[in-house]
Structure 1
Amino acid sequence: MESTTPDYNYNYTDYDDNVTVEEPCSSDGENLLGGQLSTIYYFMFLFSLFGNGLVLVIIHRFEKLTTVTNILLLNLVVSSLMFMSSLPFVGVYKQLSYWIFGEVMCKIVGSVYYLGLYSSVLFLTLLTFDRHLSVVYSLHASQVRNQRYALLSCAVVWLVSGLACIPQMILHRTFTHNMTNKTFCQEHPSNLTFVDADKLRDSTFYLQLFLFLLFPLIVIVYCYVRIAITVISSKIVTKFKTVRLIFVIVLLFFICWTPFNVVQLIPENGSCDEKKKRGYALQVTRDIAYIYFCISPIFYTFVGKKFQSYFRQLLVKRFPGLKKHISVSQVSRTNMSTKSTQKSIELS
């Protein structure tokens, strides 16, 4: 599977610093497209910084940091910010078509990129599973959903994400090609002397396919189907609105995350035109996936009624003149942990 970093693949048949090789299939077109699209990375970074920062402020001001949902949400925000912090460097790299930040920053940015990306997928999955527990098993979930469960779950996600980064980070490095005399920061295009690069690439392919595509999709779809069934079978007045919201959440995940992974499953071998089409598709679908991870913590937060209320309170406190136009309802901190099934569904 192709690396999820910007891959300036010049399709060299062999790689050697001292050997001049032919360039059978130029990828200048897709690199140009990638450079043009990369301008949105800076906006995504700023939007994510503001939006996720707002989520942190609201959790700190109005919520308890010890609750299960807030612990998971806090970790999702951290992983999202971690991933988004790498995008300005990636944007500069894609626009220049060479790396200017040095070998140390290449390793740091690559590590932050992969760790943030992988952990974001798993934390989104974990949040969905936790929401499923709180709604479908509302009577017994409190015995399981405690602070220890949340901290242990987060530790497992960070551990798994860190281990999943190892193959990518072994291959991810700076190198200079003698044909262009440019420095690249990406997956090394040939075998390495100290490790079997082909096996590492294969392991990365299956890891991303099963752990970061099929597993999250199966868990998210299953959990939201169970939630939808529970909501429909209950006597909640707002059930149809809730089911509609569930459908939107699942649909967004499918639309944004699946195409990028599906394109990566397309074999790289083929004619030059087929390789170029795959390259163009990767540039577009990759950016769509990035947008989802930019907005997902904010989206998961502000679909809840209580967070909308907190946001209105912040606005009114900051801009008193808005009090005439914004309806503000006070939400108590103390009774947040004792919600019925109906409240769990409405505030999730």
Structure 2
Amino acid sequence: MGNDSQNPTCFTNDSFKYTLYCTVYSIVFILGLLTNCTSLYFFSCKMKMRNETTIFMTNLAVSDLLFVFTLPFKIFYNINRHWPFGDGLCKVSGTAFLTNIYGSMLFLTCISVDRFLAIVYPFRSRTIRTRRNTSIICAGVWLLVLSGGISASLFSTTNNRGDNSSTTCFEGFSKDTWKTYLSKITIFIEIVGFLIPLLLNLTCSSLVLRTLRKPETLSPIGANKERVLKMIIVHLSIFIICFVPYNSILFIYALVRSQAIANCSLERLAKIMYPITLCLATTNCCLDPFVYYFTSESFQKYFNIRPRSKLDSIFKSETPLTVKGEPTAEGAVGSVNRNGANIQLESQF
């Protein structure tokens, strides 16, 4: 989305972005390809029990891989500052980027809401948290992000530079294009793809923390509280590091590019910070596997990482969360007889 300023007196040299993009994209490509291919292989072939959260994580890994596969083209472009792959692949690359950024936020939000329901409403959410409903939600997320990505990428066309020496991609949008189309699309994806997921994550996290503060919550398996806290920290950290800076600058950038705000200092700030925050946003591909680690004990065992205790995980489907007594060895639903008393267990995830 880099563009020369419409105001010639407000020129900002942002050529550093090509080296920055090339470096960051190369790192993200290597790490993202290895971690997400491994994760997807595990979810598809090695995980014996597939639950609702696993479905969300599988879709998140697919979203990351779709973007990772387009990075070699972006790396070539930023090294040579020339796009020889045609207008169609330019659009595909733009769609993959937007699908990954906003798809990741939405799928992370789905995981957060799913954990909220399992922790705060373990019984009442059983009819909601089904594989069928999860599949429908995932299909809805894909439909939403692909629609938004395709709509925005219609303007990710190739253009010739001023001297016709090379072809650009993701650059050269006119003021009229920003004012007529891109600013409206940006506001829509900012609200639906960023603000709503951010508010949902903050709300779910605060309600889970409030539940954990109750003395009767998880009292027999207190080690799980630490694990839930780590889960919340990972989710919010990805939003704060990857998505909040990028979407904040994108919103400002859209305002100055559409001339809704005419401020040279703000335009310079947006042009300098946009490449930096965009690189931060792309690193979500490498950070998402941490979500898998803290969400699935089976994921840990696959890599021979032992939890500190058998009760130190509430995120796998085999283990109940809130227990009025104690779980069986297999974490099965039922009751345990101890000292002649029946102890009713909570439902499984």
Give distance in 2, aligned partners of 1:277 and 1:68: 42
1:308-331 CA distance string (max 9 Å, x none): 122118xxxxxxxxxxxx899999
Residue number in structure 1 paired with 2:3: 9
- Give the root-mean-square deviation of aligned CA atoms: 3.1
**Between 134-143 and 178-187, the greater mean CA deviation after superposition:** 178-187
Displacement of 1:181 in angstroms is 3.4
Residue number in structure 1 paired with 2:245: 259
Report 1:48-127 matches (<5 A): 48-64=32-48, 66-127=50-111
CA contact under 8 A between 2:52 and 2:129: conserved in structure 1?
yes
Q: Secondary structure at the match of 1:172?
A: coil
Report 1:120-139 matches (<5 A): 120-139=104-123
Displacement of 1:173 in angstroms is 0.7
The match for 2:226 among 226, 229, 241 is 241
Report 1:9-48 matches (<5 A): 9-11=3-5, 26-27=11-12, 29-48=13-32
CA contact under 8 A between 2:300 and 2:307: conserved in structure 1?
no
Task: Tell me the matched-pair count.
Answer: 311
Displacement of 1:158 in angstroms is 0.7
Q: Are 1:311 and 2:303 matched, yes or no?
A: yes
Give distance in 2, aligned partners of 1:99 and 1:328: 51
The match for 2:125 among 141, 153, 158 is 141
Give distance in 2, aligned partners of 1:219 and 1:74: 21
1:79-110 CA distance string (max 9 Å, x none): 01112222222232233333222222212222
CA contact under 8 A between 1:8 and 1:97: conserved in structure 2?
no
Displacement of 1:274 in angstroms is 4.5
Stretches of structure 2 that go unaligned for 5 or more consecutive residues are: 324-330, 332-345
Displacement of 1:255 in angstroms is 2.7
1:200-231 CA distance string (max 9 Å, x none): 21221211321122111100111111122222
Displacement of 1:153 in angstroms is 0.5
Stretches of structure 1 that go unaligned for 5 or more consecutive residues are: 1-6, 14-22, 314-325
Q: Secondary structure at the match of 1:181?
A: coil
Structure 1 pair 256–328 and aligned structure 2 pair: CA distance change class (3 A): closer
Q: Are 1:170 and 2:162 matched, yes or no?
A: no
Residue number in structure 1 paired with 2:275: 283
Report 1:176-215 matches (<5 A): 176-186=160-170, 189-190=173-174, 198-215=179-196
Give distance in 1, aligned partners of 2:282 and 2:103: 14
Q: Are 1:150 and 2:134 matched, yes or no?
A: yes
CA contact under 8 A between 1:84 and 1:294: conserved in structure 2?
no
Alignment TM-score, normalising by the size of structure 2 = 0.78
Identical aligned residues as a percent: 25
Give distance in 2, aligned partners of 1:79 and 1:340: 29
Give distance in 1, aligned partners of 2:72 and 2:171: 19
Give distance in 2, aligned partners of 1:67 and 1:239: 19
Q: Secondary structure at the match of 1:30?
A: coil
Give distance in 2, aligned partners of 1:232 and 1:239: 12
Residue number in structure 2 paired with 1:302: 293
Q: Secondary structure at the match of 2:83?
A: coil
